[in-house]
């Protein structure tokens, strides 16, 4: 199956276990791999035969910026669910990164990496 990779989608959001994270917010970065059939678009050279990834980027940014979850795992799952709502996508990998986690003496990044596939229920809702 073919895929499209969308990397370094950034948004300022309010997800985190600490109360100040949900008030002050912080930057998040999202990398996606979406599996979608690209053969028709490769032949036709028409946007309507592929995925308009501008819509996905906008949707992911909106979720990051408006969601208020305690866990990164929940935000990553919400992103996966929203991406799978696009009819042509059969599978998505979401890498959600918190570049500056408020953990004392820790200068690294926290990344949640999940992969989800379309279920039969999602397929019927997307049509």
The span from the CA of 48 to the CA of 85, in Å, is 17
For residue 30, what is the enclosing H or E element? strand 26-35
Catalytic residue flag (residue 98): yes
Catalytic member of 40, 95, 98, 109: 98
3-state class (DSSP) for residue 4: strand
User: Of 107, 97, 105, whose CA–CA distance to 27 is shortest?
Assistant: 97
The span from the CA of 32 to the CA of 103, in Å, is 26
Q: What residues are labeled active site?
A: 98
């Amino acid at each position: 199956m073919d895929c499209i990779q969308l990397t370094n989608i950034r948004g300022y959001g309010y997800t985190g276990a600490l109360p100040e994270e949900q008030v002050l917010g912080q930057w998040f970065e999202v990398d996606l791999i979406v599996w979608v059939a690209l053969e028709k678009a490769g032949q036709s050279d028409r946007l309507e035969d592929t995925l308009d990834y501008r819509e996905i980027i906008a949707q992911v940014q909106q979720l990051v910026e408006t969601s208020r979850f305690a866990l990164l795992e929940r935000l990553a799952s919400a992103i996966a669910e929203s991406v799978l709502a696009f009819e042509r996508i059969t599978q998505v990998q979401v890498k959600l990164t918190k570049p500056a986690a408020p953990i004392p003496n820790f200068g690294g990044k926290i990344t949640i990496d999940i992969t989800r596939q379309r279920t039969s229920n999602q397929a019927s809702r997307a049509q």
